[in-house]
Structures are given as structure tokens and as C-alpha cells.
Structure 1
Amino acid sequence: MDYLLDNRQAEAGVRFKAISELFDPWTFRHMDDAGLRPGWRVWEVGAGGPTVPSWIAGRVGSAGRVLATDIDVSWLADAPELAGTPVEIRRHDLVRDAPPEGPFDLVHARLVLVHLPDRDRALRTMIEALRPGGVLLVEDADPGLQPLACPDEHGPDERLANAVRRGFRALLAERGADLAYGRRLPRLLRDAGLEDVRADAYFPFASPACGVLETASILQVRERLIEGGHATAEEIRHLLAAIAAGRLDLTLAPLISVLGRRPGD
């Protein structure tokens, strides 16, 4: 599948930093709720950047193990945050490859499954890698629940931002993304046999990092937005200028975080 937001593009690094600023505290809170502690074995799926595996390494310590995988590990390979940590970096395709050797106490994926063509298989792969009693934490967006870039659509700039966001969502859907996936996760984890399933959602609003992330995402898909008739080059230029000037109160699709435990000890 043609992944819309290619991690090989320069804007990917900007996106990773903005996502980390927006969502890392939320993710880390859920990992603490899952019981993450020294000695745990953790598989970080689709790690992208280094901030999450680095933080996990600090929690599990030298007695633990952190496996950070992605189909593109270029943003992990030379990350100074990971130097001297118990983090193993490995290229891995969650849909096509067998689970890495485990078992793991915690398996985590953030903003990964919504983009995959075979989400069901990917979810099974992660569950199979858990030890009995191990915890799965899946965090994914649900653009269908809150589709607007600017909920306060009071002027032409906000209307333009929302139109471009609709175009972005259309491009995602064309490539097989499930824009309502987040809301289904609690049921999917229960149906897969996990216990103690619980979920909540978070979306930031009017944070400067929202503007950084929106700008980087638009730049990554600029030509496709134009080719698809979703926006003109002038409209994109105007929108990026409005974001840079801080005139827009931007938000994102909610990130839905779901915890479930594999039956056993």
C-alpha cells in the first residue's frame, strides 16, 4: 500500500517531534497505568521516532528489554536518545512478518493500525506476542469522530482549513485507512479475547504543536491535494501562511487509547 505520510520525507521528522509533544505525556500515563516497571520486556510497534522507546528504556532499566520496530528505522538508527539504552532497533513489517521472539509484557502501537491494509492480522500479531497476563496498548486516531481542523469555523481561513482537512481525509481513505477505526478498538480487543479492556480519548486544541503538525502534513501531501482537486496551490500557500501567523485554533482527530490484558497469570 502507498503510505500517504512517507517517513522518508524530510517533513516526517517534524511530524514525529510534534506528535511527541502532543501525545507522549498521554501515552506515558497509559503505560504507567499498565504497570510498566523495571525488568519488563516491551515491543514498541511502528516506533517512528525515538522518544517513546527512549522513555520506555528508562522505565524498564538494564534488566528489561525494549524492541523498537518499524518498516523504516531511519529515524531510530542514529538517534542520540537511544545510545547506551537497552533498545534494540529492527526493521519489521507488522502485516507480512511473523511476530518477533517474545513473549512481551507490554506491546504498544500508536497511530499505526489505522493506516494498515490488514489491520485484523496486525492486531493478532501483537496479541500473539504477549505473555499470559501481558498488556496490549493500542492508540489510534478516529478522524470520523471529529473531522474538522477548526471547530470554530467563523471565517474564510477556518473554512479553508476544514476543506483542506476533508481533502486530506479523502486521500487517507483512498489508500485504505479506516477513518472510524479508533472507536472500534475496544470491541476488537474484547473480540480477540483480551480482558479488562478500557479506553479513553484525547485531542489537543489550539496548541502550537497542532500548527506544526498540520503544516508538516500538508507539505507532505501538497502535490496530491492539488492533483486530486482538493485545493489549489494558492489556497495551500494562503493556509500555510495563516497557520504560521497563528490565526487559527487548530485541533486534531481524537487519539483513542485502549488497554487490554491477555488472559493468564
Structure 2
Amino acid sequence: MDSADGGAGRPDEDQGYLLDNRQTEAGIRFGALAELFDPSTFRHVDRLGIGPGMRCWEVGAGGPSVPEGLAERVGPTGQVIATDIDVSWTRTTASGPDRVIEVRRHDVAADPPPPGPFDLVHARLVLVHVPDRAEALRRMIQALRPGGWLLLEDADPGLQPLLCPDESGPEQRLANRLRSGFRELMARRGADLAYGRTLPRLLREAGLDDVCADAYFPVASPACTVLEAATVRQIRARLVAAGLATDEEIDQHLGHVATGRLDLATAPMISAWARRP
């Protein structure tokens, strides 16, 4: 899913999935998310010692960047299984006996885990959107080998709710009001806007060892501008239908974003990792 504010839930409104991978803006968003968050993600992956011959499960892969980065690390003797409810943006490597990346359509909270065990199970910006987060977490832990690592990375919009933390003028105030509308749409569809901060506790309560966490908070990156424009276009009709913004306000905001002079931020992404005993 890999959505900044994914996909492990069903891609329809009844199941709470706001940002549909089938829309053309999804590819733009995945590129911006990769630019923003891949350096932080792979800093953690490398710290955990993921290397040649290991097996990894990438949950809610969304775009291709994380599966491909994992494949580079595990090499031809390893394997990366990338799953999502919509795999249209996830690419595979060459087919055949030397294939490193295997892509599967999969719902992490409803389907059995892919055949394991795994040295690493990773999900980024996924579980915050999954209605049955506890079951999804249980299945991910179940798929780890003893000593294997779980790395969960999720946004916490409640910790820092503003698109423009420096609310210095009317453009910034409009941006923050539209971001508030986006958060309301997410909450209506079951997203837990304070989920990221709970990850260390949840990993300890699940019986995992060596629990650690940190947070990453991009501000004023060009990729934040790309991400915001694509996201607003993707949810525009829903903002208007819900009475959270008018078409005129959205056009004004997109014009402000296009200038590149707004210092845009994302919600903090909290990364937590732990080892199965």
C-alpha cells in the first residue's frame, strides 16, 4: 500500500482504503514516497544485517522500490516476497529459477502468510490503514523465523497534524485546513491516526525481543510537494463530496503548491523493530 498518511486493506470505500492504487496518481505518489522514505527504511534494514541468502516478506509493497532494494541486499541466493491487495505498481525481476522477487496479491489481515519462515518482515505505511491491525500484526510475527526481525514503519498524523508547520499566512492556513479534511476522511475509513506511536509497546506486548524505535519527519523536501499535489488530486472528489473543501479552494491550494514556496511536511513516520525469540 505504502501510503503516506498503502495497501493491506481492500481497495474500496467499504473497507476503508482511501488512496486507491488503481488511480494514475498512485504511481506519482509511490515515486515521491520512495524519495522521501527509502533512505530511512534502508538505514534500518542495513542496521538489522539483512544480507545475502536471506528471505524477506515485504507487506503492502505498493511501488517497487523497497522490494528491489531488498533484492539487491539478499542477492540471487535470497528471496523477496512482495505482497499487496493491488500489485499493479509492483514489478518483478526476470522470471525463472534465479528470480529473487515474487509478487503475490494478498490481504495481510485475512490471508495466510506466504510460506516462510522469513529473516525480515517489513511493512511501511500500511497497518495504520488496516481495520484489523492486531490480526495483521499476529500473522506477520507468525511468519518470522526464530531470531528474525520485524520492521514496522507507520505514520502518526496525530503527533504532527500540519501540512505547513510554519503557518505564516493564508496559503499555509488553507493547506492545513485541507490536510485536516484529509485526516477526517482517513478516520472515517478506520485509520488510526495515533497508531505509529504505539508500535514499540505493541511489539513488546507481542513477546518480541530487542524492541527499538525512532521517527523521521521530512520538511520542505521537493518530494513533499510532489506527494501533496498527487494526493490532493487523488482525493479531490471525496473532499468536495464530504463538504470538507470546495473545488475553488482545492484549485487555490494546488496553485500554491505548484509555486514550490510552501514548506510542506509529512506526518512523522515512526519505525519500530524487534526480534522474534
What TM-score, normalized by structure 1, do the two folds share?
0.97
Which of the numbers 49, 57, 64 marks the counterpart of 1:43?
Answer: 57
Deviation at residue 246 of structure 1 after TM alignment: 1.0
C-alpha distance in structure 1 between counterparts of 2:51 and 2:221, whole Å = 31
Q: Tell me if 1:62 matches 2:76.
A: yes
C-alpha distance in structure 1 between counterparts of 2:276 and 2:106, whole Å = 23
C-alpha distance in structure 2 between counterparts of 1:179 and 1:152, whole Å = 21
Residues 129-183 of structure 1 show CA distances to partners (whole Å, capped at 9, x for unaligned) of: 0000000000000000000000110100000000000000000000000000000
Match of 1:212?
226
Match of 1:182?
196
Match of 2:130?
116
Match of 2:177?
163
Counterpart of 2:53, as a letter, is G
* Unpaired segments ≥5 residues, structure 1: none
CA RMSD, 1 decimal: 0.9
Deviation at residue 99 of structure 1 after TM alignment: 1.0
C-alpha distance in structure 1 between counterparts of 2:124 and 2:16, whole Å = 19
C-alpha distance in structure 2 between counterparts of 1:29 and 1:152, whole Å = 28
C-alpha distance in structure 1 between counterparts of 2:48 and 2:127, whole Å = 20
Match of 2:165?
151
C-alpha distance in structure 2 between counterparts of 1:83 and 1:204, whole Å = 34
Match of 2:105?
91
Match of 2:4?
none
Task: Return structure 1 stretches of 4+ with deviation > 2 angstroms.
Answer: 82-85
C-alpha distance in structure 2 between counterparts of 1:183 and 1:51, whole Å = 25
Deviation at residue 247 of structure 1 after TM alignment: 2.0
* Unpaired segments ≥5 residues, structure 2: 1-14
C-alpha distance in structure 2 between counterparts of 1:83 and 1:228, whole Å = 45
> Which deviates the most, 225-234 or 103-112?
225-234
Counterpart of 1:32, as a letter, is D
What TM-score, normalized by structure 2, do the two folds share?
0.92
Aligned length: 260
Q: Tell me if 1:223 matches 2:230.
A: no
Deviation at residue 2 of structure 1 after TM alignment: 3.3
Match of 1:101?
115
C-alpha distance in structure 2 between counterparts of 1:139 and 1:152, whole Å = 25
Residues 209-255 of structure 1 show CA distances to partners (whole Å, capped at 9, x for unaligned) of: 00110111111110111111111101100100110111210001000
Identity of aligned residues (%): 67
C-alpha distance in structure 2 between counterparts of 1:154 and 1:50, whole Å = 37
Counterpart of 2:213, as a letter, is A
